[in-house]
Amino acid sequence: MKKSESFISIFDPDSTSDELWEKYYLFYLRIFKEMFPDDPPPSKECLKKEMENPHPDNKDYRWILSEEKSNNIIGYGRVTVYNKSSPAYQANKHIAFGTLFVDKSHRRLGFGEDLLKILVKKVKDEKKTIFQGGTLLESGKAFCEQFGGIIALTEEESRLKLEEVDWEMLDEWIDEGTRRAEGVTIKRFEVVPEKDLEDYCLIFTETLNQVPKGELEWEANETPEIRRSREKRNKLINLTWTTFISREDDGTISGLTETFYQPDQASLLFQGLTGVKKQYRGRGLGKWLKAEMLKYAKKTFPKLKFVVTDFAVTNAPMIAINKRLGFKKHKFWKEYKFNVDELTDSLKLQ
């Protein structure tokens, strides 16, 4: 296929026709199956709701690459920046995040570079100096390195098969936690209780900022307003967001773990952030929280088969807990970082 037989256009989820949405979803399925061949994909309705209800921190810009004759979609690009209204904007105002995919049958023909030029022009228009994005495909890694991306972080995706969990060990972890952390209680919620909202946002921000980031540049700042917006969004997209916290006998929230469950992907539970504040470590709270989470998930989601988690390969404490639980390596993500001026030169943009 010649480049003259294709075109790039803006993709706006809020105004796209049903016909174009169908074409986009077919493209999405091809990319999804290449990356996750054994996983159930989200439905078109779920994907549409996610795009129409963006993360409250973010502003997204999207483009599609289409064949001129058939109008079939063969490529997709997205730029994400922080909203100026976001509490995390000041710390991250120089950063943009990118996503780019081209159909396997249309790679190495220059289409990816054409899409990347569009993305980088938007990044420059937004006055960003750093551009970041990740990939697990070998073709994606080669593409990023071709244009000067440096590997900023390597992340491992691991999976735990529920039928292989040692439930007796989890009971031991719970018993150990209650003994070593006397007076501590474990609480669960999907919506943060109002009385805990401010304190929870503080520990969430602190814990997330302690996650190893390698050379990636970003900084979290969770606020009550952002949390409530995220809770509202997840309800709209039918995503069950479950959080367990450990509470000290003086009422302080000392640790947390969170999971995400989407009925469209009923066999998978996605593990989010897990962490314990530094001054409360060494009493088995992390293991206790994980144990409570897994027992609850088994009881609550009858179709569940796998728990999926990802973490920096340098995150030794999390690796140790996951290894004892029985998580097995599944894939490796590479996160790349670009200097926007250098990328502009590489692409020969003005």
Say which CATH number the domain at 303 has: 3.40.630.30
Q: Does one domain contain both 19 and 123?
A: yes
User: If residue 160 lies in a helix (H) or strand (E), which one and from where to where?
Assistant: strand 150-161
Q: How far is Cα 111 from Cα 35, in angstroms, rounded to an integer? A: 20
- 303 falls within a domain: yes
Which residues have a Cβ under 8 Å from the Cβ of 344 and sit 6 or more positions away?
120, 124
Query: How many residues does this entry show for the chain?
Result: 350
SS3 at position 70:
coil
Q: Does one domain contain both 79 and 177?
A: no
200 C-beta neighbours (distance < 10 Å), count: 20
Whether residue 123 contacts residue 332, with contact meaning beta carbons closer than 8 Å, is answered with no
Q: Pick from 100, 80, 60, 50: which is nearest to 265 by CA?
A: 50
Query: Of 107, 128, 149, which closes a domain?
Result: 128
Cα-to-chain-centroid distance, residue 275? 17
pTM (global) more than 0.85:
yes
- 146 falls within a domain: no
11 C-beta neighbours (distance < 10 Å), count: 22
Q: Does one domain contain both 15 and 76?
A: yes
Instruction: Find residue 102's DSSP bridge partners.
Output: 75
- 347 falls within a domain: no
Q: Does one domain contain both 161 and 302?
A: yes
Query: Tokens 């809020």 belong to which residue?
Result: 14
Query: Of 128, 143, 167, which closes a domain?
Result: 128
Which residues have a Cβ under 8 Å from the Cβ of 79 and sit 6 or more positions away?
60, 61, 96, 97, 98, 119, 122, 123, 126
Q: Does one domain contain both 246 and 287?
A: yes
Q: Does one domain contain both 114 and 254?
A: no
Whether residue 327 contacts residue 160, with contact meaning beta carbons closer than 8 Å, is answered with yes
Domain that holds residue 30: 3-128
- 200 falls within a domain: yes
Question: Cα angle vertex 322, ends 268, 164, to 5°?
Answer: 60
- 152 falls within a domain: no
Which residues have a Cβ under 8 Å from the Cβ of 270 and sit 6 or more positions away?
259, 260, 261, 307, 308, 309
Buried b (16+ CB within 10 A) or exposed e, 244-277: bbbbbeeeebbbbbbbbbbebbeebbbbeebbbb
Q: Does one domain contain both 113 and 27?
A: yes
Angle between helices 285-300 and 167-180 (to 10 degrees): 140
pLDDT tens, position by position, for the chain (350 residues)? 667 689 999 999 999 999 999 999 999 999 999 999 999 999 999 999 999 999 999 999 999 999 998 999 999 999 999 999 999 999 999 999 999 999 999 999 999 999 999 999 999 999 999 999 999 999 999 999 999 999 999 999 999 999 999 999 999 999 999 999 999 999 999 999 999 999 999 999 999 999 999 999 999 999 999 999 999 999 999 999 999 999 999 999 999 999 999 999 999 999 999 999 999 999 999 999 999 999 999 999 999 999 999 988 778 888 888 999 999 999 999 999 999 999 999 999 97
Residue 218 has φ and ψ, to the nearest 5°, of: -170, 155
310 C-beta neighbours (distance < 10 Å), count: 20
Report how many domains make up the chain: 2
Q: Does one domain contain both 248 and 309?
A: yes
Q: Does one domain contain both 180 and 36?
A: no
- 338 falls within a domain: no
Whether residue 332 contacts residue 155, with contact meaning beta carbons closer than 8 Å, is answered with yes
- 339 falls within a domain: no
Q: Does one domain contain both 83 and 186?
A: no
